[in-house]
Each structure stands twice: as C-alpha cells, then as structure tokens.
C-alpha cells in the first residue's frame, strides 16, 4: 500500500538535512545531502507506518501540504512510501522426500529457505 505524507526538511550547518513528519510525531530522519535525506525520509516513513501497523496504533491522516508552516530556511516536500503486508500466511508445498530429509539433516528452516529463494527470484 502506498502512503504519502508531508515532510519538513531543515538544512543544517554541515550541509546535512533533518527531516520530520508533522503528522507522525517522533518520526525523524537525517541525510548528509538532500538526496540522501529524501531516501532516508522514505525509509523512515515506511518503517514508522509498519511499526504503527504492527502495534495496532492508529495512523493519522496526512495534512494538506499547504497547511504546514515552516521557518525561513525550511521547506516541505511530499514523501511517498510503499508498505508491504508482512504477515505470515500458510501454504502447502510439495517437495521430494530426499530433499525434505536433507533439509532436516542440515537443520534448515524450510520457511526461511523458501522466503529467501522467493525474495531473490522476485527482485
């Protein structure tokens, strides 16, 4: 699911940027450059929304970007984050008996191996 929230970018004396989200108190990030700050803001937003979802806390609606007041050296930008549903689902899979025996012998987690393989294949 995609989320878009306004973020306030504050330039620091060393050329870095501090990023805050007015609608998500406590969600703060930084970047050594503007481009890094944008990337870090997306990561922070995604992780913050995932955290709220996992702890069943309500997610506040995003403010209209025009309603956000900033200081002279700050600016507001919209940040887009895609959050995936990471809840586990059960699936029935079939594999040859010899393969199942090898998995057990090596002490592997079949779920982890399958997730790793699918993750690699899907990216």
Q: What token pair was written down for 108?
A: 């592997």
Q: Which long-range contacts (CB under 8 A, 24 or more apart) does 35-38 make?
A: 37/9, 38/77, 38/79
- CA 119/CA 103 separation, integer angstroms: 19
pLDDT in 10s for each residue of the chain, 123 residues: 899 999 999 999 999 999 999 999 999 999 999 999 999 999 999 999 998 888 888 899 999 999 999 999 999 999 999 887 777 888 888 999 999 899 999 999 988 899 899 989 998
Sign of the Cα torsion 40, 45, 48, 49 reads negative
C-beta separation of 44 from 28 below 8 A: yes
């Amino acid at each position: 699911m995609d989320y878009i929230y306004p973020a306030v970018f504050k330039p620091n004396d060393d050329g870095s940027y501090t990023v805050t989200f007015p609608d998500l108190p406590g969600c703060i990030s930084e970047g050594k450059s503007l481009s890094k700050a944008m990337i870090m803001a997306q990561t922070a937003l995604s992780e913050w929304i995932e955290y709220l979802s996992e702890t069943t806390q309500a997610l506040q609606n995003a403010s209209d970007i025009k309603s956000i007041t900033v200081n002279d050296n700050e600016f507001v930008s919209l940040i887009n984050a895609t959050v995936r549903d990471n809840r586990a689902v059960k699936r029935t899979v079939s594999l040859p008996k010899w393969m199942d025996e090898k998995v057990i012998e090596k002490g592997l987690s079949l779920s982890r191996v399958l997730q790793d393989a699918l993750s690699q294949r899907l990216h």
